[in-house]
Structure 1
């Protein structure tokens, strides 16, 4: 029997897709002010929410 991490497989085989999101203006301003990347932050937040990584 071989064990495989489904999450690792999905990460390795996944391609990025474009998603349009709406955020409050104050968050948009904070992102700009701090030079953060919304896509990266959203990805990390979703991974944390679903217990990935």
Structure 2
């Protein structure tokens, strides 16, 4: 377990495995921010940064 807040980048967050991983990471209390660049917007979450393009 990490003691400091984690900042994580996910490539492929809209795929089958990526969606599962994103949900798991956003439910972890030690994850401070998830950066998930995608082609289409994802559901908003306070710890999610989702640049679309």
TM-score, with normalisation over the residues of structure 1? 0.24
Higher helix share: 1
Higher CA-based Rg? 1
Higher strand share: 2
